[in-house]
Amino acid sequence: MVISEKFYEAVADYLYLLERNYPSKSMLKLVGDKYALPSHERVMLYRGLATDSMLKTRRRKQILNLTVAMPVFIDGFNVCRTIGSYLNGNFIFEGMDGFLRDVSELHRKKLSWPILERALRLIILFLKNNSAGEVYFYFDKPISHSGKMVELCHDFLKEYHLKGSAETVFSPDYCLTEVKSGIVCTADSHIIDQSKVSVFDLARAVLNTNFNPRIFSLK
């Protein structure tokens, strides 16, 4: 996906406003309209930029490898969609905080079931090969395929002899920010900022293990 020359000027303006606590929706429209940014670049501003204080907090929490036998709590759709977007040929990028994100807000079409299934299998295989402890998946209950994803998780956990479970919940954010022991896997900024435990970019680890992705970075 092409990045416009104006995007870099927009980044500077957006960060200036972000550091001064302007409302995110207002400054996104202001900066996006000023530089006539396409939709994917607006999503990159919103999901990929962070203040210095945010970056310091996230860097303290981010871990680069799983700890053997530690319980793992996974933001199901967040991780699956990032991997699925890559498998589907959609644009993904690295935010300033080092976490991998996609521009899924642009794709109103759901990822196909075979893509989601493949993404989930890759996740389970990675967890198995890296000796994860018990594994817990949380999927957003209102989202399509959530029930099927839970069933598939249970099948894969059994197939690969991993302990754990999967469930649909109304707020994965709440469940994950309440974890007090173990590792949380997500690239959701709100969850990272509020997490009480270390955070692991599972989607990135899975893609780096299985592919050689060329990723645009905001760092």
DSSP for 187-213, please give it: --HHHHHH-SSEEE-HHHHHHHHH---
**What pLDDT is recorded for position 2?**
84
Residue range 8-20: mean pLDDT, rounded: 97
| Cβ-based neighbours of 47, under 8 Å, separated by 6 or more | 95, 101, 103, 189
Please tell me the distance from the alpha carbon of residue 82 to that of residue 104, in angstroms, as a whole number: 8
Q: Is 90 exceeded by the pLDDT of residue 101?
A: yes
Q: Is 70 exceeded by the pLDDT of residue 107?
A: no
Residue range 193-200: mean pLDDT, rounded: 98
Residue range 1-7: mean pLDDT, rounded: 90
Q: Is 80 exceeded by the pLDDT of residue 105?
A: no
Tens digits of residue pLDDT in 33-60: 999 999 999 999 999 999 999 999 999 9
Q: Is 70 exceeded by the pLDDT of residue 193?
A: yes
Q: In the chain, what are the domain boundaries? A: 6-49, 59-217
Average pLDDT value over all residues in the chain = 95
Tokens of 219: 């760092």
Which CATH code of 1.20.1070, 3.40.50, 1.10.287, 3.30.70 fits the domain covering 59-217? 3.40.50
Residue range 137-166: mean pLDDT, rounded: 95
**What pLDDT is recorded for position 108?**
47
Instruction: Identify which of 76, 213, 68 has the alpha carbon closest to the alpha carbon of residue 152.
Output: 76
**What pLDDT is recorded for position 145?**
87
Residue range 123-144: mean pLDDT, rounded: 95
**What pLDDT is recorded for position 14?**
98
Reported confidence tier of residue 111, pLDDT bands at 50, 70, 90: confident
**What pLDDT is recorded for position 1?**
77
Q: Is 70 exceeded by the pLDDT of residue 183?
A: yes
Reported confidence tier of residue 104, pLDDT bands at 50, 70, 90: confident
Residue range 95-112: mean pLDDT, rounded: 80
Residue range 81-91: mean pLDDT, rounded: 94
**What pLDDT is recorded for position 199?**
98
